[in-house]
Structure 1
Amino acid sequence: MSYQALYRTYRPRNFSEVAGQEVIVKTLQNALLHDKIAHAYLFSGPRGTGKTSIAKILAKAVNCEHAPVKDACGECATCSAIQSGVISDVVEIDAASNNGVDEIRDLREKVKYLPSMAKYKVYIIDEVHMLSTGAFNALLKTLEEPPKHVIFILATTEPNKIPATILSRCQRFDFRGISPKDIEKKLHAIKELEQVKITDQAITEIARYAEGGLRDALSLLDQAISFSDDLVTEEDVYAVSGSVSKTNLMRLLDFIYKKETTEAFALLNEMIEDGKEVSKIVSDLISTLRDLLIEKNVVFDSERPTKYLEELSKQYSNDRIYFYLDVLNGTQNDIKWSNQKRAYLELAIVKMIDHKQIDRIDYHDSIEVLNKRISGLEFELSKIKSNPPQIIKSKDKEVSTDSQVLEKETSREQKPLVSVTDIERILNNGDVEKKNLMLKGWDRLPQIKDPRLETTAMLLHEAKLVAATNREILLVYPNKINCRLMLKQQTKKLVFDILNAKSKLIDDFVCIDEASWNILFDSFIKQWKSGNKKPTLPKLDLELYQEDEDTWQPGSVALAIDFFGKDKVMIKE
């Protein structure tokens, strides 16, 4: 059989070919150059990160006929013999199958003999954590004081299982997982050498799937080359690795977001029929949501691995992503010990679509969208106010020079819900103790689970409680829409039920928007500091007027009517 796997063909033969372990390579090269070779080394780290390869390179370098050198020449008789494996002075021992006391006693006897050809006898003990307690004890004395011609290199993926007495006698090197960038660089080099036709996206996916193991990446590349007809694509990588394609993951999340249960289940069934494991689907969903969270909250350069989620991230709030991750994390733990893996995933999808927590998240998302629209409208309104349209009078009628003239509504003829006098009264009769008493329970408002009060409690929690008297409180919201919603009679009744549940704390409350509050409070503070202990606030139109009360509507419907107008909202049963 002439073909050799890529991970064997491209195993590093000298330090310059090692990928992603720069610190370890530099340390060992300096030790070789200055002839400061330790008698025992411990290489620990994840699989496929170069532990055994570097052990073999170190064995060649210490025995190179041109030593001391930073790297083995690879050409002298000793280097060639070690590379081809025909020399008995470099011994590889698999501790998984040679883990008994007798094997280690035999090794202890053989280390006494001088090397046959090389300068040092090098023992590479792979998976050393598999040795039995008796074997470790048998190795201990030899490892502490080996003959001058012997070097031990212990390799393990689980250093926590090695006795402290062994650890303390070794020079330890912790190998890190190789970064996707380093893996991609190595794969591109192999692509050129092997003349493989593969897309850059496929290489990126192989590097991501390898999770820090270069050997895993090369094995997956080997599989993908065998699977594809001509050009290795991203889809080929998904097929041979068992991963779910980005497109299907985004489609599934979109179905969940839009609450399309039938479509989500159909896509899940399609994935499973294609041979995707349930555990892998859950794992890939978690990874996608993690990328989504990073894309939404972290600023990157234009080239970034999460750029494909740029559009999707605009419609997801952090709370929604956190909720999805919590559900999937619980599912991942559950399916480890169950034979009904698919059932658990289907239940998770239903939970992500239909859960009371999702209703709260949808409500907050709608509030956030409306807040952004209001901010935009307020900005446009401020521009109109700063540069009002001119009215040119003619004989017959008045003509506006601006087609978008803002007509004042008759709201000024209506009774105000809140006036500057109300704010002035509360500030001049402030009760700090009452305010602090109210604030103590403020953070517990989101914990209210009564379906009748839950939405109002969340809306109340969003307000800043800025002042209080012995009978009323002053709340500040980012905009006027929340103020109007809170000042509706039906909402006020629910607020009183919440705040006066245990004992009567307030008789009334007042809400204003943040922009108005900043103007009034600045005036109040300036007068107070100048010695006026009963400040008079400037006259200001708070634009909060009483409207005709209709029959009570759910919070989301009332919010839509307040924002878009009653004539624009249609309610379907």
Structure 2
Amino acid sequence: MHFPMRSLYRRHRPRTFDEVVGQEHVVRTLKNAIERDRVHHAYLFVGSRGTGKTSMAKLLACALNCSGAPRTDFDPDDPRCREIMAGGSMDVVEMDAASHNSVDDIRELRDSVHLAPLEGGRRVYILDEAHMLSSAAWNAFLKTLEEPPPHVVFVLCTTEAHKVPATIVDRCHRFDFRRPGSEQLRKVLRRVAEQEGIEVPDAALALIARAASGSFRDALGTLEQLVTYGGTRIELQQVREVLGFTDEEHLEEIAAAAIAGDAARALRALARACDEGGDPERLARDLGHHFRLLLLAGTVGTLPEELAITPEEREAVARQASHCPVAIAIRVLDHLGEALARIREGAEPRLQLELALVKACDRTVEPSLRALLLRIEDLERRLAAAGGSVESANGDTGDAAATPTARDAAKPTARVTSAQPPARPPGGAGPAGVAATEETGEHEQDAASTAARPADPANEPDLERIAALWPAVCEAARELNHALSHWLAEARPTRLQEGQLTITFPPGWAVGYRKVSAQRERVAELLKRVFGARLVPIFELDEGEPATTGPSALTKEQLIERLKRELGAQEIEEPSGEQEAT
């Protein structure tokens, strides 16, 4: 009779405590408990999938039921241990709580715990996926777990400890299983490959370990899949094809375009990668991994040795990191993270990746970023102007004595100019300006005395630029108050005179006008943060069109006509008194 071959991860489970990789804290505690005869009656093993929880539970069962038990140095070829590892021991009961999660299943387990062990010294119950038990099943299991017979040991394995009731957790000794690192995964893969006669390069093992995401089972399953695909000799390109990794040339080309800010080039490179069968979501993840490496290389200076990358990739990343500022790497990672979040919510993957690349390449897409660039340009222009005057002063040696005099003559003028009180713009004298003064008198005085001061005309942005960057002000206001951002979005800057910016609200926005007027200081701070200049905000309400007073202000005839026109109503004559009597 032909029996199917067992999978690699089942054939290469750790057979002794010494073969366990990555869980030294659990091994040491269990070995000490066995040697000192202090084995607890219930254990809770918590960890992500493929970290060795069930394997550790079976090793504990072997140590408690082997010949001469309990002992930590048991022989894995002992008949009892081999039965336990094969799942055929009568003293070790494995229960899948995902499919046996009812009260009846727990009652059956509770009735069997009183049976004495047949061969070994303990009966070990291993409940896998324990968090799947129902609330009623947990309640039925609670008393048995708290006071089991002396020969019973419970081991509860779960990937979601937060779903296990607190009354269960505090009755168990909890062990958290760590996810193995890339080096530990490669160590296990290399050992299994040598035992199975598989030829695989270190670069391929690095990719397999990276795809496993901290799971021994996934890593060995991938290795077995690759053996089925290409035989016992595995090539690096086969790993890329099976696991769907993006070719490094495409990643480097897209990254180079993003670093250079060339959106068209980045989209063309993305199109070529997708046309060759690349998955956009996988490409986004690989691109994020690539820029993470660039970020590490740019911040630390060298890439850590434990990273699961090939030597060729390490050289390419180091070469490209020398041309990639850290700020660009952070910007690209932020946009890729947003794209992946939208993809998880159901958005179209390729579109989101294209949007992320365009945003990362175009520094002026975001309003707040455009404002920052504008301030940088103004600063550079001012520095250039200052540098020109210094050069001219240094170059004119003949009038050296006259230069200080000119500077001294200019100083009083600057002081007089800055000391002049801000003049009210013409629009402030109208009804709207008077209303603003009456409703926010104290706020306006505080703003004029503390937060707001007229801007220097040389550094003051013009009205056109303020209007173009008004969305940046609304975006900055959203970080402080969503309602303030909403009201400012409906207003528009209309005049700029001597450092005073008039902000006009449309008709019907009297509430927003009053609310924003009460936050004059905050608006002044926002303007300074966005434009880099002190501007005094003056608020007006456009009263060009009278506000609608509602149906109650209409006459009877107007109301009837409006009902006929808008609702198709018909006028019915009231019956006379004689008709009502009949």
Q: Same fold (TM over 0.5)?
A: yes
Residue 150 (structure 1) aligned to one of 144, 149, 152: 152
Partner of 2:190: 188
Contact 2:332 2:357 in 1 (8 A): no
Contact 1:101 1:135 in 2 (8 A): yes
Contact 2:453 2:534 in 1 (8 A): no
Q: CA deviation at 1:239?
A: 1.7
Partner of 2:212: 210
Q: CA deviation at 1:97?
A: 0.6
Q: Distance in 2 between matches of 1:283 and 1:303?
A: 21
Contact 1:92 1:124 in 2 (8 A): yes
Contact 2:65 2:119 in 1 (8 A): no
Contact 1:352 1:358 in 2 (8 A): no
Query: Secondary structure of the equivalent of 2:124?
Result: strand
Contact 1:40 1:170 in 2 (8 A): yes
Q: CA deviation at 1:314?
A: 2.0
Partner of 1:5: 7
Q: CA deviation at 1:440?
A: 12
Residue 533 (structure 2) aligned to one of 499, 513, 517: 499
Q: Distance in 2 between matches of 1:65 and 1:100?
A: 36
Contact 1:199 1:231 in 2 (8 A): no
Query: Secondary structure of the equivalent of 2:75?
Result: coil
Partner of 1:313: 321
Partner of 2:547: none
| Distance 1:117-1:323 versus aligned 2 partners, 3 A rule | same
Q: Distance in 1 between matches of 2:69 and 2:86?
A: 20
Query: Secondary structure of the equivalent of 1:7?
Result: helix
Partner of 2:245: 243
Partner of 1:534: none
1:360-509 alignment, distance < 5 Å: 410=395, 452=465, 499-502=533-536
Q: CA deviation at 1:199?
A: 1.4
Contact 1:320 1:361 in 2 (8 A): no
Q: CA deviation at 1:256?
A: 2.6
Contact 2:259 2:328 in 1 (8 A): no
Partner of 1:254: 256
Contact 1:66 1:73 in 2 (8 A): no
RMSD value, Cα = 4.4
Aligned length: 426
Q: Distance in 1 between matches of 2:228 and 2:120?
A: 41
Q: Which amino acid aligns with 2:346?
A: S
Partner of 1:326: 334
Partner of 1:124: 126
Query: Secondary structure of the equivalent of 1:499?
Result: coil
Deviations 1:58-111 (A, max 9, x none): 101011222332232223332233233332111110111111111110110011
| Distance 1:304-1:65 versus aligned 2 partners, 3 A rule | closer
Partner of 1:28: 30
| Distance 1:441-1:178 versus aligned 2 partners, 3 A rule | farther
Contact 1:286 1:328 in 2 (8 A): yes
Deviations 1:139-175 (A, max 9, x none): 1110000111111000000000000011011110000
Contiguous gaps of at least 5 residues in structure 1: 372-408, 426-430, 443-447, 456-493, 504-573
Q: Distance in 2 between matches of 1:361 and 1:269?
A: 28
Contact 1:255 1:264 in 2 (8 A): yes
Q: Distance in 2 between matches of 1:225 and 1:201?
A: 16
Residue 171 (structure 2) aligned to one of 160, 169, 172: 169
Q: CA deviation at 1:32?
A: 0.9
Please, which moves more after superposition, 166-175 or 278-287? 278-287
1:239-318 alignment, distance < 5 Å: 239-300=241-302, 303=305, 305=307, 307=314, 308-318=316-326
Q: Distance in 1 between matches of 2:372 and 2:155?
A: 60
Contact 1:319 1:361 in 2 (8 A): no
Query: Secondary structure of the equivalent of 2:536?
Result: coil
| Distance 1:268-1:227 versus aligned 2 partners, 3 A rule | farther
Q: Which amino acid aligns with 2:220?
A: L
Please, which moves more after superposition, 234-243 or 45-54? 234-243
Query: Secondary structure of the equivalent of 1:151?
Result: strand
Deviations 1:446-498 (A, max 9, x none): xx99884799xxxxxxxxxxxxxxxxxxxxxxxxxxxxxxxxxxxxxx99x95
Q: Which amino acid aligns with 2:46?
A: S
Partner of 1:548: none
Q: Distance in 1 between matches of 2:463 and 2:247?
A: 42
| Distance 1:347-1:60 versus aligned 2 partners, 3 A rule | same
Q: CA deviation at 1:437?
A: 7.3
| Distance 1:47-1:500 versus aligned 2 partners, 3 A rule | closer
| Distance 1:108-1:230 versus aligned 2 partners, 3 A rule | closer
| Distance 1:68-1:21 versus aligned 2 partners, 3 A rule | same
Q: Which amino acid aligns with 1:332?
A: L
Please, which moves more after superposition, 247-256 or 302-311? 302-311
Q: Which amino acid aligns with 1:338?
A: G
Partner of 1:17: 19
Partner of 1:396: none
Q: Distance in 2 between matches of 1:204 and 1:362?
A: 44
Q: Distance in 2 between matches of 1:209 and 1:418?
A: 73
Identity rate, percent: 36
Q: CA deviation at 1:224?
A: 2.4
Q: Which has the larger radius of gyration?
A: 2
Contact 2:97 2:132 in 1 (8 A): yes
* Residues 1:340 and 2:348 are matched in the alignment: yes
Deviations 1:256-293 (A, max 9, x none): 33344444334333433444433222222222222221
* Residues 1:225 and 2:233 are matched in the alignment: no
Q: Distance in 2 between matches of 1:245 and 1:422?
A: 68
Q: Which amino acid aligns with 1:209?
A: A
Partner of 1:178: 180
| Distance 1:301-1:289 versus aligned 2 partners, 3 A rule | closer
Contact 1:320 1:358 in 2 (8 A): no
| Distance 1:22-1:418 versus aligned 2 partners, 3 A rule | farther
Q: Distance in 2 between matches of 1:145 and 1:180?
A: 42
Q: CA deviation at 1:52?
A: 0.4
Residue 76 (structure 2) aligned to one of 47, 62, 74: 74
TM-score in terms of structure 1 length: 0.64
Deviations 1:387-444 (A, max 9, x none): xxxxxxxxxxxxxxxxxxxxxx95656997999989999xxxxx9xxxx9799999xx
| Distance 1:83-1:362 versus aligned 2 partners, 3 A rule | same
Q: Distance in 1 between matches of 2:454 and 2:197?
A: 68
Please, which moves more after superposition, 285-294 or 211-220? 285-294
